[in-house]
Amino acid sequence: MQKTWLITGVSSGLGRLLAEKALTRGDRVIGTSRSEDALADLRARHRETLRIVAMDLKDPASVRAAVDRAFGTVPRIDLVVSNAGYGLLGAAEEASDAQVRDIIDTNLIGSITLIQAALPHLRSQGGGRILQVSSEGGQIAYPAFSLYHATKWGIEGFVDSVAQEVAPFGIAFTLVEPGPARTSFGDNLARTRPLAAYEGTPADRIREALHGSWVIKGDPDRMTDAMIRLADQDPPLPKRLVLGAEAYAGVRKALAGRIDELDRQKHIAETADFTEEELARL
């Protein structure tokens, strides 16, 4: 059965691969990009099933207009894939006000606005699925990526809450959490101006590693295959889909560490409450 996808950030990376695969199997795709002229090669091959809608993720009015336009062109959109975003490399202290605002506007506020704009349409059509592309960086954190992590941890908390709000309407969410993959993500990193004080620190070592011989194992082709399978999966959907062996190992280690630390604080947590006797006197 043909599905209709709304995919943001289709110009490159996982967004483009996902659009290509959906189109190849006979689905319909409405993709967003800053220009409606994007993906000329794909539009030439899929004239009837691919449409590009211009959208500036940093402009809430543009996001809402693009989403309204997309839903207005087809009877139903089955899957909304919120995929656009970028990374900022550098220590938090090095980031300018403009860099902080830009990445939050794009990765976090842009994704929030997209979801807000899609929900009324999904409710009115009786449900649908939203795949929010996050990152392993939505559950773990590396030095030199603090602002990127702020956006990913932020969108994960937002989606966790909204998923509970809209479940009665048949709207399901999955946070897709890829590890490092061989896409253009690294080439498109924004960078802070390095401070001498951070030479030799963990943030500096991460910066150097990205220029070195770090082997990236993540295959974007296999990652998008997993996303296609998720689109076809019967409910309930997983709340999170971790992609990549390194991502799995890193997230598992981080979660185990948090549970261990939490358990060591159990007594402290419990002693922060009123006692039953005190509550009875209040």
Question: How do beta strands 240-243 and 171-178 pair?
Answer: parallel
Q: Are 2 and 26 in contact (CB under 8 A)?
A: yes
According to the model, what pLDDT value does residue 183 have?
Answer: 63
Question: How far is the C-alpha of 13 from the C-alpha of 279, rounded, in Å?
Answer: 56
Residue 248 annotated among the catalytic residues of the structure: no
According to the model, what pLDDT value does residue 203 have?
Answer: 94
What tokens were used for 275?
A: 């006692």
**What SS3 class is residue 175?**
strand
Residue 148 annotated among the catalytic residues of the structure: yes
What tokens were used for 244?
A: 């990549």
Q: Are 201 and 156 in contact (CB under 8 A)?
A: no
Choice among 3, 82, 148, 198 that is catalytic: 148
Question: How far is the C-alpha of 260 from the C-alpha of 209, rounded, in Å?
Answer: 30
Domains observed in the chain: 4-244 (3.40.50.720)
Strand partners, 229: none
Which residue ranges of the chain lie beneath pLDDT 50?
none
Choice among 11, 82, 152, 198 that is catalytic: 152
Q: Phi and psi (nearest 5°) for 113?
A: -65, -40
**What SS3 class is residue 24?**
helix
According to the model, what pLDDT value does residue 198 have?
Answer: 96
Report pLDDT digits (tens) over 54-101: 999 999 999 999 999 999 999 999 999 999 788 999 999 999 999 999
According to the model, what pLDDT value does residue 30 have?
Answer: 96
According to the model, what pLDDT value does residue 208 have?
Answer: 85
Q: Which amino acid is at 195?
A: L
According to the model, what pLDDT value does residue 91 have?
Answer: 96
Residue 142 annotated among the catalytic residues of the structure: no
Strands (DSSP E) contained in 112-188 are: 128-133, 171-178
Choice among 82, 134, 135, 146 that is catalytic: 134
